[in-house]
Structure 1
Amino acid sequence: MLALQFTPETPQPLAITSLPTAYDLPEDTIAETLLHTVVYSGVTAGDTVTCSMNTVANFFMKIVSGSTNYGVYVNANPTGLTYPNRYDITVTCTGAPSGSTVSQILQVHMTKNTPPTINNVPASISVDSTTTGSGVTIFTISASDTEGDQLYFEIICDPTGCPFEVFASGAILTTASLEGTTVGGYDINVYVNDSRTKVGPKVLSVTITNVNSAPTITNKLTTPVSVSENVAVGTTVRQYTATDVNGGTLTYSATYNPTSGGTYFSILSTSGVVQTASSINYETLTVAERTVLITVTVRDTGALSDTTTLTVSIIDQNEAPAFPKTTYTLVTDEAGAGASIGNPNFQATDPDASSTITYSTTCTEVTIDSSTGAASFTSAYDMDVAGTTGSITCPITVSDGALTDTATLTVTVNNINDNTPTFGQASYTFTTANTAAVGTTLGSVAATDGDLSTSSFGTITYELNQLTLGGDYFGITTTGNLYVKAAITSLSLGATYTMTATARDGGLLSDTADITIIIPSTTTTTAATTTDRSKTFFEDPRNIAWFTAAMVVLALTIGLILYMCIRYGFHFKKYQKTYRSRRVDQDRERLGEFVEGKWKPWKVWDKPR
């Protein structure tokens, strides 16, 4: 029988079998990368092994996904990891609960990055501006990297502001249409970057053909121009001209400061003519509006332009005053020199605020107040004068001292009853027999009237008041003749009769005269007028009036004298009796006062004591 004897195997200590070792890390690494997987052996039964590393920037340790092993990693987008640095990472693994531990070194060496390469630049290309719109690819950059790094492209233009951009694919596209551009070309500086190394610039020269050039205004003006108010609409202020090397249609436009200037001025888009667009009234403009700054722009079909400014000063002009109407009328009555006719209220106006207007007329019959326009008669205007008309037509002129306007004033003059009929005498006396036949004319008592006989005011009618005669015996013809109207045989012989004649015109103005009829005591006396004899004193009623007044005064005087005598005689006797025996001197003194005219008849003498 064969007998075997086994000797127990000695346990191996915990060991990291994958270390020590080294790892080459490219300096352009940007992704989180596993550098080393830790492998260990000699694990004591029942132990659990954990591994860790010392602290090194940009590196860390974690369990490798899908296994139970630990791994050493570099962070994503590490910073400061540059060639030729080396990093020593100490990895320590520990068994628990046995407490066995082991450490090993992982050396990380940084390797230099290989720059990318631009393959097709420098280069030159041409681009037609008339056919190249927005979003058009004009060039594609070709670049490579031996390490297969992600490449990033960048472009910088000279001059700046180019209408190009580059995409991740390396394609360079237009950002706007090149039509109308004024730039003839760009140098595009091309760069490529693999996140570690930026390569460039490499120049891509872009020549733009058929470039549009801006038009040029050839007759710009730096001095102001003047425009008078009230010039005709469409008056040319200035005409601009422009040239364009590309030819084509040019269009003119303008802006105005203040904006109200666009009301008064405009520019013709095809010809460049700046002209007045509406009537300009200087007086209605504010101070700011009397100077207009016009900015003129000329554009070509490619929207390129040139501009200039034009300062226009609006000038005030003297403007004629004006009547609001062509004819005016006034109605008045005939009157004396200087009498007011009225104010026609001409209300003429002058656009010039500083102007003073005056009124005048060449009419000889009418005077016009130069300031107010009020009318008055130059001389007496009497409709009762033969040939005087009832209408006056006067030309009226308003003037500001230089310019004038005219109108017509028509004055209608009314004929008024401005004259009272008047008898030639205050009284008349006629003598006639009571046998005078009916129709016999005794004489004339005709009255006169200053009003024309052709008017109603100059027509005189007569009336007789014969109440004292007791009958209608006499009459007055329309011509003023007094005649026997009815038989007067009933009038007494030797009697005198008085009646009143009234002369009245068509305007009811009147005058009166007294008529005395004397019937002689004999019947042989023929009728006689007041021209046959003179009046007696008492036949004139005016003598009777003053004679009566004189008699009244005389009677009052006699009465006063009688009163004085009676009053004086009573007091004198009374004092003579009472003071006869005493105070003689006193009485004499008082009597002396009387004699000297100092006596007062209403004074009562002192009673005796």
Structure 2
Amino acid sequence: MDGTKLYFFLGLYGIAIVCGVHCSIRVELQTPTKTGTSTTLHENTYGQTTLAIVRCVDDSNITVTGCRCNLNRTGQVDGVFDVWIFPSQNGTDHGYKAYFLGTAKATSSLKYDKVKSYTLQIFCVTSSGGNGETASANLEVDILPNQQPLIPEYPTVTTTPINASSNTLVGRIVYQVNATDPENDALRYSMTQIPDDNFLTIGASDGIIRTAVDTRKIPTDSIVCTVSVTDGKNTVNDFSVTIKFKNINTRPEITYLPHSISVKEDAIVGLLLTTLTLRDTTPQPNNTVLETYCVVEPAAESSKFTYKSETQQLKLWAPLDFEKTDKYLITCTVFDGFLSSEGDVLTVHVINVNEAPVFSATTYFCTLSESRSGVSTCHLGLTVTDPDQDAIPTLKLLPGNSSERFRYDRTADTLTFDVDYDVDKMPTKATITIHAMDNHGANSTAKIEVSIQDANDNTCDFGLTRAAQATVNQSSVPGTLISLSASDGDLTSPNNAVTYEMVSCLPKEGENYISVFGSGEIKYINLIPETEHGKSYIVKVRCKDGGTPPRSATPTVQISYLTTPTTTTTTTSTTTTTTPTTTIPTTATEKSVWDIESFVAVFSLLMVLTLALILLGVWYFCCKTGRMAWCMHKHQQPMYDPYPYSQRTYQ
């Protein structure tokens, strides 16, 4: 309370004390409808409104002039109500009124659900000749709540049946809700319906119920609508409107469904599951053709079934697998252009059948290199599973087609030879069969394509049992002495491709006369001096194949140089020397001592020692006879030399 108000009420009480019993006034309240101490105010009121006229009267009910009145602005009334002076017609005898202040907006500050009644305490005070008297009165303001809308047909109404087969257009009016509001508030309409298929709609502002679909799509003869009407504060939400129909369209149906069947999981593809029988009790005009389709659950396996509308047959279209899916729901629907059938389901139960083990592939591939048993291996990447989770005790190679030459290791998943395999004598390819069987006897097979590669496992062979020999003499001309040929038992090149080369020649100077070519030819390339009569040359030749790593053999060839005697025939005119030709044998002979390297070495050493002894004897003889100037003997007179030193020449 501000200072002015405080002073005003202190003045009123002061005047009352001074006035004592000499003054007697009272406060009279006149409401718009009656004189009394109460009035009403609707909670929707938002503008400034007069509640009562305030008068000061004496005991004789005569208006006392000069009264001043005000409102005790405490509690909930402050800011909501007030008492104001209003001028009188004579300009001196002013009166007072109690007001509801209202709000500047079109919304009320009154809330019935919060404050249902207010009590206004009004004080009046008068002064006469310095004496004053005060009086007060209470004005009760009762708040009237907002009234809910009124519906004459409430709580329920049923319409006259509407012909669903005629005037079937969308938007046909079937009923209008006639609601009013006591306060003339704007009304809003909403609706729910059973069945909840949105066959009908209601206008939100006009309350008109209309069809939302062609009435031939409505399969029921009644729709129960629950309408709600609100004025923004109060709502009527349980007005029931039953819309009736006649001559309604009925749903087509499949007479055989719903139904259940059982099918073994090994049933053949193309098995006929059922033939549908269709029926429509309310056929549509223009001979509308019934449309039929089927949906499979689970949808991911829809491809396992097929439906042909021409024959109305439903068939199995792919193999079944009990372990993956043991039940299918096939919902078939027939449509007459407006309505579809409902609940036509074929339930397919899959019966478990013991299935054979399944290999991870139909054919496996393996490449081996010829080798001894168990040496060369290949990893197949073979796995076999049983759809029924049964044990698979048997996994082996079936007899036949050379399978006995191979062995499968189930633990390591490897294939290897069970024999010493030689592609020079055995096939380079084989197709073998591996067999799996579960503990119930179901079995299956897969193929293994085996390729066997040629390995370099053979050494070239000259086929010689002793050293090859050849002989040349002083009349031999350069050319081929021997053509060596070695064979290699390997099947393919380069393993069986043989080349030749010289390893060594003893004595080494023989390399000047003899050469070995890659083709295997041993050639006499330069003439051997006659001084080498009786000498033999031991040539070592290596044959080598092209495999990895290469394999080789080294035979020995003995070449002897022998001179032949010369026969001279003398005639009167000429002398002819005939040298018999010695044929060089090119075939192998029996091995002699000259083929033994140790013998040749010892023999050579003895020959050197013999030559040294001969030279020593000659030197001794010369010294004894004085034929050599540098021998150790007594001094001799120098011989006469007719030529000076400068004229000597040496050859």
Q: TM class, shorter-chain normalised?
A: 0.3 to 0.5
TM-score, structure 1 normalization: 0.44
